[in-house]
């Protein structure tokens, strides 16, 4: 099925915004955060207007309705990723907190000095810093799967690293800089063969690809609502039940307890033992509406549309003299185009494009080591989602030529 772009774009009020007289928004920064459709905005608005109450402990009508909406969203998110049970879906604030939950709970209970954790050179800081912190605290060892010059992971080097019997392999499913879609199922399978567990950073893959926890077989999978048309402030850690049940609580307080005495406590059952305090109730309901929206369009259709836009963008950008793209060919990547322009700092590129309403990202994109790998301080990054059009790619190209003219 081909996506109905006119209908979809009408679902997103912000896409009709004029930033200044005669300057309409061209939003090409969905890798940072996606825009929100009316279906999500209205679901959250309706919650606050009709159902707002705290969840789980109340017996009055609003509390029961609120709880049903909150847990109903969890059920739909579980179905969206094909988890075997909603108990495996832990609400967190975002992907970063989900990865930290694994680092603070599972890793601190299971890793000791000298144990090896394998990461990759293309990781977001969220999947680097928690392990640096654990290394400083526990003396674990960190090794990294190299990135090749064409933006792919060196799987032969990975297999060699696995001979050292790591305890954990943690990697991004899709690079937020290069757009590279890593062979996640293969990486997980090889990790399991080596006796390791596997954590997948799905922040960039869950919004764009059909993800299936049964097929992927990851032990942990982390993702955020705000990158997939949902609200900010909520994400998910999926985990295998056997692991989650043996892990100690991450935070202590209300709702994560079954019983508290002055000198002891008993933790709640899954998923609640990892959800301390009043949660992001409206955001969870918005998250449920977001996965409903994506499901209605079909993740395979979204991926096909993004591939078409990305392929067109690569062709157009490669025509521009002095522009260098990073990452693999369009068939091996998602809708991300990171580039540098000869003689122009990426921040200048982004600022000049913004004068024409074109929103792109500039900087190291929370992936400084990857930029150091390619010996560049920063890149400009255009990213595409289900609501972007080829006409917007043309506006981007026209804007870059304007940048070139201004810088001679």
For residue 312, the tally of other CB atoms under 10 A from its CB is 16
How far apart CA 46 and CA 181 sit, in angstroms, is: 37
Q: How far apart are CA 223 and CA 81, in angstroms?
A: 11
Instruction: Name the region of 179 (left: φ>0; alpha: ψ -120 to 50; beta: rest).
Output: left
Pairing of strands 257-261, 323-326: unpaired
Q: Do residues 363 and 125 touch, judged by C-beta distance below 8 A?
A: no
φ/ψ (deg, to 5) at 239: -145, 155
Query: Is 366 one of the catalytic residues?
Result: yes
CB atoms within 10 A of CB 153: 22
Q: Which is catalytic among the residues 38, 41, 267, 366?
A: 366
Whether the CB-CB separation of 398 and 316 falls below 8 Å is answered with no
Catalytic residues: 366
């Amino acid at each position: 099925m081909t996506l109905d772009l006119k209908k979809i774009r009408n679902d997103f009020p912000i896409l009709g915004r004029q930033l200044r007289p005669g300057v309409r928004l061209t939003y090409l920064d969905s890798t940072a955060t996606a825009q929100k459709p009316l279906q999500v905005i209205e679901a959250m608005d309706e919650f606050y207007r009709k159902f707002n109450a705290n969840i789980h402990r109340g017996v009055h009508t609003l509390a029961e309705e609120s709880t049903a909406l909150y847990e109903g969203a969890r059920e739909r998110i579980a179905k969206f990723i094909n988890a075997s049970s909603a108990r495996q879906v832990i609400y967190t604030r975002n992907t970063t907190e989900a990865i930290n939950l694994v680092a603070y709970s599972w890793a601190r209970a299971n890793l000791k000095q000298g144990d090896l954790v394998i990461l990759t050179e293309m990781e977001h800081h969220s999947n680097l810093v928690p392990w640096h912190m654990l290394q400083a605290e526990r003396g674990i060892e960190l090794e990294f799967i190299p990135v090749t010059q064409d933006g792919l992971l060196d799987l032969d080097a990975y297999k060699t690293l696995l001979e050292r019997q790591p305890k954990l392999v943690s990697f991004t499913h899709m690079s937020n800089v290069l757009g590279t879609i890593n062979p996640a199922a293969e990486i997980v399978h090889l990790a399991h063969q080596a006796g390791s567990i596997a954590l997948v950073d799905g922040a960039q893959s869950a919004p764009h690809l059909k993800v299936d926890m049964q097929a992927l077989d990851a032990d942990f999978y982390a993702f955020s609502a705000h990158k997939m048309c949902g609200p900010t402030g909520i994400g998910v850690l999926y985990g295998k039940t056997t692991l989650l049940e043996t892990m100690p609580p991450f935070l202590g307080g209300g709702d994560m307890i079954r019983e508290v005495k002055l000198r002891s406590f008993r933790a709640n059952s899954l998923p609640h033992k990892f959800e301390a305090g009043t949660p992001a109730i409206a955001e969870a309901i918005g998250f449920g509406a977001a996965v409903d929206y994506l499901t209605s369009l079909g993740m395979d259709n979204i991926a096909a549309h993004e591939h078409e836009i990305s392929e067109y963008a690569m062709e157009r950008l490669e025509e521009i003299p002095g522009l260098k793209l990073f990452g693999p060919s369009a068939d091996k990547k998602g809708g991300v185009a990171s580039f540098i322009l000869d003689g122009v700092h990426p921040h200048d590129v982004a600022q000049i494009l913004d004068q024409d309403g074109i929103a792109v990202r500039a900087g190291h994109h929370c992936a400084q080591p990857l930029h150091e790998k390619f010996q560049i301080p920063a890149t400009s990054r255009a990213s595409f989602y289900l609501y972007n059009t080829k006409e917007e790619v043309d506006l981007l190209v026209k804007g870059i030529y304007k940048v070139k003219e201004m810088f001679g």
